[in-house]
Amino acid sequence: MSEENGHKTINGKAEKCPYSKACGGCDLQGSRYKRQLSKKQKLLNELLGEFGEVRPVIGMSDPLHYRNKVHHAFKRDRSGNVLSGPYEKGSHWVINVDDCMIEDEACQCIIHTIRRLTKSCRIKIYNEDTDEGILRHVLIRRGFSTGEIMVVLVSGSRKVPDLKRFISQLVMIHPEITTVLLNINHGKSSMILGPDREKLLYGPGYIKDILCGKTFRISAKSFYQVNPVQTAVLYSTAISFAGLTGIETVFDAYCGIGTIGICASDHAGNVIGVELNPDAVRDANINAEENGIKNIKFYNDDAGRFMRRMAKEGQTADVVFMDPPRSGSTKEFMSAVIDMAPSRVVYVSCDPETLARDLKYFTAHSYRVKKIQPVDMFPFTRHVEVAVQLLRTNDAAFVK
């Protein structure tokens, strides 16, 4: 096997991941990377072409092992070996995956050690049917620039035996692990992490990463983009679409741990961020403080409700960044933005279908699409990010 043009090949033919059918995570397996990009481009042209020219998707020079967040469910086979991987598509059957093409290799190596240690330390694997046992999932996150690694052990039971020996061996073998947490999840849903706060087992409870020259602290439950190389490309595109000159009032809606707003803050007058997840807002506030940023404020609220209140209070905006989840935004949010009349809206989307729906709304209400830039954050899968610049039609003539 060799790597050619960013793709594992066997005798020049694109290799297909042996787990792809059962796993279902990568829809574009078996296609060379260039072909994957042209498939995405075609789909984007179909969905977004009516709003303007879709620029060529920015791809990766090395699209393998880009995912800095790795999650495995655990099981034991009949011979007592510990196995792990994703659930089979549409079920709770764990597929044993030893080598994934898109997962970070350092994280995968830790998963292999955890399998071995689970066996030697006699840690029981959780059984969903009987609700007995301990280890259910492992979530690993790696800070791309810092190399810091977080391991979250997810237990299916509240009664967890002493994990000291397990943890001390794990961090001795992998000194790159800087923090280990325990999360309890004995629910039946497919959520990886349970709702309660994690118990800290080792280190500070978070990792740090550097993005666009700023340092970010990331907790277990906070959203953080999974492809750090392409995130830098996406954010710099989005910030350039905002056309900031240092005096603008900027909103960063659906802000997560504050990444876009913090990266934009040096170029803006002031920034207001809003996010639903309280852990992410706590991270965002600490991130602002640790980067010495004084012109930013974060609120923990539903983005639609918050923007409606801002609009009612007569708050204006020059630029609104919005980066909603896959389900897209809401009429409540968009109508409030339209009332606040920013001259530019920068929409960062991870789902072109809901993006098209929301662009229809904006373009029917005084905005027009000026630029559409897709960035491939998820090679081998059908997913793609898109940054869109919308201009208020009254102002459109004056902005390049």
* Catalytic annotation, residues: 350
- Contact between 256 and ligand SAH by CB under 6 A: the answer reads yes
The full DSSP string for 72-141 is: EEEEE-TTS-EEEEPBPTTS-PBP--S--SSB-HHHHHHHHHHHHHHHHTTPPBPBTTTTB-SEEEEEEE
Q: Which of 325, 331, 382, 393 binds ligand SAH (CB under 6 A)?
A: 325
Q: How far is the CB of 362 from ligand SAH (least distance, A)?
A: 18
Considering only 13-21, 46-54, 273-281, 387-395, which stretch makes contact with ligand SAH by CB under 6 A? 273-281
DSSP label at residue 57 = P
225 is a contact residue toward ligand SAH (CB under 6 A): yes
User: Stretches 95-103, 167-175, 190-198, 322-330: which one binds ligand SAH (CB under 6 A)?
Assistant: 322-330
Smallest gap, in angstroms, from Cβ of residue 222 to ligand SAH? 7
Indicate whether 27 belongs to the interface with ligand SAH (CB under 6 A). no
With CA atoms as reference, report the closest residue to 362 among 386, 400, 382, 336. Answer: 336
Give the dihedral sign, CA 375/381/183/206. negative
Smallest distance from ligand SAH to CB 330, Å: 7
Q: Which is nearer to ligand SAH, 26 or 239 (CB)?
A: 239
Stretch that binds ligand SAH, among 6-14, 91-99, 250-258, 309-317 (CB under 6 A): 250-258
Contact call for residue 280 and ligand SAH (CB under 6 A): yes
Closest CB to ligand SAH: residue number? 256
Query: How far is residue 299 CA from its own chain's centroid?
Result: 20
By the rule CB under 6 A, 128 interacts with ligand SAH: no
Our finding on whether 260 is near ligand SAH (CB under 6 A) is yes
CB 95 within 8 A of CB 104: no
Determine the Cα–Cα distance for residues 252 and 272; give it in Å rounded to an integer: 6
Integer Cα distance of 257 and 298 in angstroms: 9
Q: Min. distance of Cβ 283 from ligand SAH in angstroms? A: 10
CA-based nearest residue to 33, from 387, 378, 385, 386: 378
Going from the C-alpha of 287 to that of each of 54, 172, 207, 306, the distances in angstroms are: 34, 29, 12, 22
Nearer to ligand SAH by Cβ, of 51 and 254: the residue is 254
Strand partners, 94: 87
Alpha-carbon torsion 341, 343, 347, 352, what sign? positive
Task: Give yes or no for residue 255 binding ligand SAH (CB under 6 A).
Answer: yes
Q: How far is the CB of 345 from ligand SAH (least distance, A)?
A: 14
Instruction: Decide if residue 232 touches ligand SAH (CB under 6 A).
Output: no
Instruction: Give the shortest CB-126-to-ligand SAH separation in angstroms.
Output: 27
Q: Sign (positive/negative) of CA torsion 324, 328, 330, 335?
A: positive
Chain contacts with ligand SAH (rule: CB under 6 A)? 223-225, 254-256, 259-260, 274-277, 280, 302-303, 323-325
